[in-house]
Amino acid sequence: MRKSIRSHVALATILSVAGVVSFAQSGEATYKSKCAMCHGATGMADTGAGKSMKIKPVNDPDVKKMSRDDLIALTTNGKGKMPAFKGKLTDDQIKGAVDQYISLGK
């Protein structure tokens, strides 16, 4: 009986940790669902929408010189054709998506 309880507790702990790990990967999921349609899966703005709106790729010097905080503010408040995501995404989701975008430029 004790062995069975220990096994169930261990399984519950593993599943809880797995849930936290998958939540931590939400930046990638948020980027894919909210950003990739314009900025592209690789950040190169090579989608139809990205090309038609003349979005700069992640490796463009103007984009590269922007700080993480600049990109977070731009994503939060919007600019030009970039919609504001304030109230649509949480601060953590925005930060995660920005971090994912930045990682594509490395």
Residues 75 and 86: their CA atoms lie apart, in Å, by 8
pLDDT given for residue 24 in this prediction: 47
Q: What is the pTM of this model?
A: 0.75
Domains in the chain: ranges and CATH: 26-104 (1.10.760.10)
pLDDT digits (tens, 9 = 90+) for 32-45: 999 999 999 999 99
pLDDT digits (tens, 9 = 90+) for 2-43: 555 655 555 555 655 444 444 445 899 999 999 999 999 999
pLDDT digits (tens, 9 = 90+) for 54-72: 999 999 999 999 999 999 9
Own/partner contacts of 8-17, CB < 8 Å, gap of 24 or more, are none
Task: Phi first, then psi: give them for residue 69, nearest 5 degrees.
Answer: -65, -35
